[in-house]
Amino acid sequence: MTVLSVASAQNLRESVAIVRPKLSENTQAFLTDFSKSLRKDGFYSAADILENYGKGSFGTGFAYRNKQDNRLYIITNRHVVEQAEWVDIEFSLPDNSSKRFADCPVIGVHDDFDIAFIALPQGAQVPTLEITDKAITDGTTVFTAGFPALAEKPSWQLGQGIVSNANALIESLTHNKELPLIQHTAQVDAGSSGGPLLVRNEQNPDRFTVIGINTWKAVDRENTNFAIPVRAIEDFFQNYPTDANTLLTQADVTRKATALLQATKSSYEAVMPFVSYQYVSNISANTFYDLVFAASDGATKAMESCFEQGSPLEGIRVGLADIICRQFSGKNYTFSTVANLDSIHKTADVTYATGDKTITTRWTLEQGRWRLMEAENVKASRIEANGISKSYGFGTSIYLGIVSPLNNAFDLSYSLAFKRTILTFMTYEISASLLKLNTEKKDWEGLNEIVVPSTRNAFDINFGLGGQLPVKCGPIYLVPYAKVMGGLYLGSDVSGIDYGLGAGVEVAYKFGYQNYVFANIGYLGKKMKPFDDQTYRLKSKMLSGLAFSIGVSF
């Protein structure tokens, strides 16, 4: 059993704190811009989540003094401090006064378990809690302490319940590590994350002892909450350094860079601890959509879950980890070199090699971990690789076009078309054209029937169905296509049906979610069949021409 200090019910609030993560200016700008883009594209719920996240969140933590270095820490959940390297700590005391510590560094997070460690300033005077890893049993009375939200502000709450499962094995919550969680019924609400799970001290019932860190709440069951046992705290201090300066070595960068290669052979979950939040902040709205389309089914579900739970940045991190995993796995990359280790900005460059090809990656020291912030083969500005695109597509696009004749059946025509994509590779469209048809009119000269050249105007309406093969080339898409069409043409003196085909190449530039500008060139051929050719000898003739159009999707 590990004993550090004690706290009674009366002074418990002196040891349990409100934890407010401080987002960097880059992250704030990212959240604001991203939220605006999502709202513009019609994703209002996701935009609200990002906007609310950017306004600031809070959780709970408790004071702990590590006997190995005698430093004072606040222990909380990793998800409470995601995207933050600095936090503000506030103790709301029983007399309604407050004790605050600003800009406290996040000195480390556990890669496998949802816990984080924050260093309080040297000389800070805060009573700590007693911690024990003594075995507990089902039915044990337990207490929760924290600051769940009330009217969007942290509000002190001391709850009571029982242990309903002392050894809950839920590997999806512990990254497949065999760490039995403590399932209990004491009150846990939004804002309680990171707070202590407590029992009465056996020697002094007026005092509390910490047995776990409250972390999860089941949304589909009543009174089902989960805490990480305190043995994870001991595991952190045994396996993770708390002094960042000891990590500023080529040896430590090499160790993490090599470990990434092993992680990519496993799964995106194994890669996530290597993805920096700075990498996340470099994602734009456009590349986020590419990220969603490119992610595997499992990663897509995990991203959706993160957004639903109010952790959008973790969702983006999942998508990045999935892409990194697939870009590295199967390529037989080997670690090559570490270069440009910058102890001031805490960055380093790492080169990997496969055959005669090398790629450069950039790493940063973040939350006490070397993490990937940029990779040459997974650019935040270009998630989808060049080649055949599976994410290309748009809701509705409008085109203005002209058709230049290749035979004498008609003069220059003008068209307006509306087109949509179906599952990337199919399209359908409705078009309207103004045609000037070249015909022959039967007339009489005295008693003799004569034929004279004539032109007639017609309004042509067509429905088209086509296929396309979009090929991504950097920010540009080259889209060869083919289509069949049919419809009616109507005029004051001529009318009939027409049908035909078209083929060509479209060039598209993407500037938003399903937003593109287009330039199109192709061949258009249609057979015109009149209903009545008694007066105008249109007969059945072929119209062929070179089609040019420009368009935009919205």
Residue where a domain terminates, one of 184, 213, 238: 238
Residue 201 inside a domain? The answer is yes
Do 59 and 184 lie in one domain? The reply is yes
Residue 387 inside a domain? The answer is no
Res 455: pLDDT: 80
By C-alpha distance, which of 338, 292, 339 is closest to 312?
A: 292
139: region left, alpha or beta (phi > 0 left; psi from -120 to 50 alpha): left
356 burial level (CB within 10 Å; 0-12, 13-18, 19+): exposed
CA atoms within 13 A on the CB side of 224: 6
Q: Could you tell me if 14 and 93 are in contact, meaning their C-beta atoms sit under 8 angstroms apart?
A: yes
Do 444 and 523 lie in one domain? The reply is yes
Residue 391 inside a domain? The answer is no
CATH number at residue 25: 2.40.10.120
DSSP class per residue in 229-278:
ETHHHHHHHHHS-S-GGGG-SHHHHHHHHHHHHHHHTT-HHHHGGGB-HH
Do 190 and 318 lie in one domain? The reply is no
Do 408 and 378 lie in one domain? The reply is no
Angle in degrees, CA 126, 69, 372, rounded to 5: 100
Residue where a domain terminates, one of 205, 238, 271: 238
Overall domain count for the chain: 3
**Can you give the pLDDT of all 554 residues of the chain as single tens digits?**
333 444 555 489 999 999 999 987 777 887 888 888 778 777 788 788 888 877 778 999 999 998 888 889 999 999 899 888 899 999 998 888 899 999 999 999 998 889 999 999 988 989 999 888 888 999 999 999 999 988 889 999 999 999 999 999 887 777 667 789 999 999 999 899 999 999 998 788 788 999 999 999 888 888 899 999 999 998 898 888 888 788 899 999 999 999 999 999 988 989 999 999 888 888 877 677 778 877 888 888 888 888 877 788 888 899 999 989 988 887 889 999 999 999 999 999 999 998 888 999 999 999 989 999 999 888 766 677 788 887 788 889 999 999 999 988 888 899 999 999 988 899 999 999 998 888 776 666 666 666 667 788 889 999 999 999 999 887 799 999 999 999 999 887 778 899 999 999 999 998 877 789 999 999 999 998 888 655 555 566 788 999 999 999 97
Residue 411 inside a domain? The answer is yes
Q: What is the DSSP letter of 536?
A: B
Six-digit token string for 509: 């530039």
By C-alpha distance, which of 414, 428, 424, 387 is closest to 547?
A: 414
pTM: 0.72
DSSP class per residue in 292-307:
HHHS-HHHHHHHHHHH
Do 269 and 215 lie in one domain? The reply is no
Do 417 and 543 lie in one domain? The reply is yes
Residue 389 inside a domain? The answer is no
Q: What is the DSSP letter of 291?
A: H
Residue where a domain terminates, one of 174, 208, 238: 238
Residue 1 inside a domain? The answer is no
Do 292 and 220 lie in one domain? The reply is no
Do 118 and 174 lie in one domain? The reply is yes
Domain range enclosing 293: 244-382
Q: How far apart are CA 311 and CA 303, in angstroms?
A: 9
Residue 45 inside a domain? The answer is no
Q: Which amino acid is at 323?
A: I
Q: Could you tell me if 23 and 54 are in contact, meaning their C-beta atoms sit under 8 angstroms apart?
A: yes
Do 343 and 412 lie in one domain? The reply is no
Do 278 and 229 lie in one domain? The reply is no
CA atoms within 13 A on the CB side of 54: 19
Do 370 and 486 lie in one domain? The reply is no
284 burial level (CB within 10 Å; 0-12, 13-18, 19+): middle
Do 466 and 427 lie in one domain? The reply is yes
CATH number at residue 444: 2.40.160.20
The count of other CB atoms within 10 Å of the CB of residue 378 is: 21
By C-alpha distance, which of 76, 77, 70, 84 is closest to 124?
A: 70
Task: With H, G, I as helix, E, B as strand and everything else as coil, classify residue 279.
Answer: helix
By C-alpha distance, which of 353, 296, 351 is closest to 322?
A: 296
Residue 498 inside a domain? The answer is yes
